[in-house]
Copies of this chain bind each other. A is one copy, B any other.
Amino acid sequence: MISGVPKDWSLHPQLERDTAPVGDLPLTRVLLMNDSNYPWLVLVPRQPGLTELTDLEENAQGQLMAEIARTMGALKSAAACDKLNVAALGNAVPQLHVHIIARRKTDAAWPKPVWGVAPPIAYEAAARESLIETLRHGLQISKL
């Protein structure tokens, strides 16, 4: 299944706390990390019980890659950056999720990976909504 939200799927509470929803692509929910240090999206496949990329069936793995690429394009258009970082780690939150982070040579962690470097700085509500609207437009998705 690569669209819709199965009844037995729910977002991990930690991801729920740390992010704001952008919308749904066919396979994944797109989330904005509430950390204005970096324009930072997270893709979460809406299937229960996934931990590793390889827990997805092969066609869903391909779909995930397509959604990663689509999201990279939209993020790069919304937020000027020097590099995109893409990662599926999951050491802390076991639910399969993919980070897509716009990095700038002037950001708080450059050139290091972002995790654990700078304390998160929450967005102001208006700035967050404006970025989310731009991302929805770039991804061609609507509000949940």
Question: Which residues from chain B contact A1 at a C-beta distance below 8 Å?
Answer: none
Question: Which residues from chain B contact A68 at a C-beta distance below 8 Å?
Answer: 53
Question: Which residues from chain B contact A31 at a C-beta distance below 8 Å?
Answer: none
Q: Is A13 among interface residues, defined by CB-CB distance under 8 A?
A: no
Q: Is A73 among interface residues, defined by CB-CB distance under 8 A?
A: yes
Partner of A87, one of B52, B72, B88, B110: B88
Partner of A115, one of B51, B58, B69, B112: B112
Whether the Cβ atoms of B87 and A87 lie closer than 8 Å is: yes
Question: Interface stretch among A2-10, A59-67, A123-131?
Answer: A59-67
Closest chain B CB from A77 CB (angstroms):
12
Most B CB contacts (10 A, CB to CB) among A73, A87, A91 go to A91
Question: Which residues from chain B contact A86 at a C-beta distance below 8 Å?
Answer: 53, 87-89
Q: Is A113 among interface residues, defined by CB-CB distance under 8 A?
A: yes
Closest chain B CB from A53 CB (angstroms):
6
Q: Is A119 among interface residues, defined by CB-CB distance under 8 A?
A: no
Whether the Cβ atoms of A69 and B53 lie closer than 8 Å is: yes
Nearest 8 Cβ contacts at the A-B interface: A87-B87, A91-B111, A65-B65, A86-B88, A62-B62, A85-B89, A54-B69, A61-B65
